[in-house]
Structure 1
Amino acid sequence: MNISTVKKVFAAGAALVFSAALLTGCGGDNAAAKKFLNIGTGGTAGTYYPIGGAIAEVLNKDIQGMNASAQSTGASVANINMLADGSIDLATVQNDITYYAVNGTEMFKDKKVEGLQGIASLYPETCQFVTLQSSGIKSLAELKGKRVAVGAAGSGVEANARQILAAYGITYDDIDEQFLSFAEGASALKDGNVDVAILTAGYPTASVQDIASQNPLRLLPVDDAVADGLIAKYPFYTKTVIPAGTYAGFNEAVPGVSVMAMLVAGKTVDESMGYDITKAIFSNLDRLQAAHAVGKQIMKDTAKNGMSLPMNAGAEKFFAGK
């Protein structure tokens, strides 16, 4: 091979190396532009998981370069802790739990969490006070001296029970409180071991439907004036009416209060991303409705109801129509 040929081969090889470097550089830029978003939900049998999965699908479809994935978690309290340590970026959380986290109260007493941002309230989770019609109890004001399953110790349900009873001037000194999960409380109610069982969940709730299938039940209302006072003190509550016929054999509409399942972002979600996330979700509500029945209650008109923390600036911008 003569000198001229060697020079040509060398030049061609150098060109290939340079082209490869350019391609690698382009690939690096694309990788840098890729947006990875981890979404915390709840248990696979609950509501948060399918809704979170649908949100991930919507974001991947609508936001260029997005790679969002939903993961099963221990739900609200676990999600707050994971947002705080940066292991997830976005999560479904009850708005009362978020309120406790940002204010350092209840289960977050002396453990205030910084940097949480509201994206949107999604759908109501209603505080339900369940009794059997045979108990004769028709009002929360009648619970003094009664046996009440108030939720598991340290749970969000127990905090709801304590706050709502206090609005009626009732403390645990006035009742026989029993710290039972709702599954335990439901069994105790059916067996006659408690007079009232309390839960916080979207309605109709399967465990309450189970009670109604075996025993005529009654849901106890939260009076309008009491609800107003409660909301003034705890801004995460919203008014709700459980429609007549929600549970078999009980055909009365029941006024009550709910907390909201909401979408919360951590520090990793900036204004631009917050806007894109919010726009994508509220432009694809049909996909969320297809994922779970509660999706039908997710609406732009109610997306700021019970907002219990400062909103992400991009989400705020979207709802302001800017």
Structure 2
Amino acid sequence: MKIHQWTIVLLLYLIIGSLFTVSAQETVAFGGGPNGGTFITFANGVQSCEPVMNAEDFEVQVQSSWGSVENLHKTDSDVFQMSVVYSGHVYLGRNGLMTNDPQLYTNVMALAWLYGAPAQLVVRQDSGITDVSELVGKKVGVGNVGSGAYANCEKFFSHLNLWDSIDQYAMGYNDSAQALINNELDAFWLFTAFPSSAVITAAASVDIALLDVDTPAEASGYYLQFPYFDKITIPMNTYEGVDYDTSSFMDSALWVANATLSANIVYDMLSMIYSEEGLAHIKAQKLTFKDMSVATGTKGVVTPFHPGAKRFWKEQGYGFCLGNLNEDHVVDGRDIVSFITNDIDVETFADEFGNINCI
């Protein structure tokens, strides 16, 4: 009888112990985006990466969402522990500048840059339009209402005091391309990775040109007001007939996490994804991720990094110049990202990190 009782006690002990072992594995809810989109493709890629799947301390569970704004809200409230959010939304949310939403979303912290979504402004070559200012009175496709393209088009043209001076046609990329072909539009705006299938379609039927949007942005102080935008060049021959480089700017899709997520989990996941095996796996998911690397992992980030991310990137040779700075700086001869925040001044930063050149 005693043996039987001790057997029961032992079994209960083993069962309870196993439950504690299982519960020690933390669930990380990863907010993607609409099914079939790039955000959820990345989230699924992280979840299916073999080192992540074999992790003992955490388990990634991907959840779909409407996209960047919902991800911002749910990551801040810890419904999602990780997600993908545009850098612009992280910046605006952190500073209470979201449209019709003064709430401060300060719990969303950057982990890494994923890819850029550049502005592209397409005109017919035979229109003679060579400058953004020449679109006054012209018919411009500005993207669907409620889309990121529309919001960024309105922001850009409003900053230049041109929004009310153009004839705005709220329509999607494919419809805009067809309208340009039919000479029903003089120009159309995109905010997406290149090459865009819509622009390819337009270029296959009519001679097109791309307008430089970087020069007017620089001259008007656009980057000072919206520091999350990063400059980019659309290379010559990206599109048929466009045999010159085009200067533009882009927002960046960021991998982010809630501030309370374990720094160890963040560090481990970055180590897994930014390994040779991890990067190969992510890049195989979609061409959009082709530029992901240790060298690009901190670009385009103008908001605070998660402590686990700071640890990881510092080990890769990067420092974080904290303070109200908006230019790249140098640590021991290597370019680093400027980290814009008010939680530490430059002197404290220099004391903590040593021989840092913060100009």
Does the pair score TM above 0.5? yes
8 A contact 2:199–2:239 mirrored in 1: yes
Deviations 1:64-92 (A, max 9, x none): 23211223321111212222343321111
Given the alignment, which residue of 263, 287, 290 partners 1:271?
A: 263
1:270–1:312 contact (8 Å) kept in structure 2: no
SS in 1 for 2:212: coil
Aligned residue identity for 1:291 = Q
Highest CA radius of gyration, 1 or 2? Answer: 1
Q: In structure 2, how many angstroms separate the alpha carbons of the residues matched to 1:35 and 1:108? A: 35
1:57 to 40, 48, 53: 48
Which residue of 2 is the match for residue 185 of structure 1?
Answer: 176
The one of 156, 163, 167 equivalent to 2:148 is 156
Corresponding position of 1:314 = 308
- The reply on whether 1:26 has 2:17 as its aligned counterpart is yes
Match of 1:115? Answer: 107
Q: Does 1:285 align with 2:279?
A: yes
CA pair 185-105 structure 1, distance change in 2 beyond 3 A: farther
The equivalent of 1:91 in structure 2 is 83
Counterpart selection for 1:127 from 119, 129, 133? 119
CA RMSD of aligned residues (A): 2.2
Q: Quick one: which amino acid aligns to residue 173 of structure 2?
A: F
- Segments of 5+ residues of structure 1 without an aligned counterpart are 1-9
- For residue 151 of structure 1, what is the amino acid of its counterpart? G
**Of 31-40 and 215-224, the range deviating more from structure 2:** 215-224
Q: Contact (CA 8 Å) 1:40, 1:73: kept in 2 or not? A: yes
Contact 2:264 2:308 in 1 (8 A): yes
Aligned equivalent of 1:5: none
Q: CA deviation at 1:261?
A: 1.0
CA displacement at 1:285 relative to structure 2: 0.9
- Report SS of the residue matched to 2:106: coil
Shift, 1:281, TM fit: 1.6
Of structures 1 and 2, the one scoring higher in RCO (CA 8 A, sep 6+) is 1
Q: Distance in 2 between matches of 1:123 and 1:227?
A: 22
Count of aligned pairs: 312
Of 57, 69, 92, 1:77 maps to 69
Please name the residue that 2:163 is paired with.
172
Q: How far has the Cα of 1:62 moved from its partner?
A: 5.9
For residues 271-316 of structure 1, the C-alpha deviation after alignment (integer angstroms, 9 at most, x for no partner) is: 2222122222211211111111122111222222221321101101
* Distance (whole Å) between structure 2 residues aligned to residue 188 and residue 78 of structure 1: 32
* Structure 2, gaps ≥5 residues long: 317-359
Point out the structure with the larger helix share. 1
Instruction: Report the Cα offset of residue 53 of structure 1.
Output: 1.0
Q: Distance in 2 between matches of 1:74 and 1:190?
A: 31
Q: Distance in 1 between matches of 2:25 and 2:123?
A: 53
Q: Distance in 2 between matches of 1:121 and 1:256?
A: 18
TM-score (norm 1): 0.89
Distance 1:245 1:286 in 2: 27
For 1:7, the equivalent position in structure 2 comes to: none
After TM superposition, the structure 1 stretch with the greater mean CA deviation from structure 2, 20-29 or 262-271, is 262-271
Distance 1:296 1:120 in 2: 14
Identity %: 24
TM-score norm. by structure 2 comes to 0.80
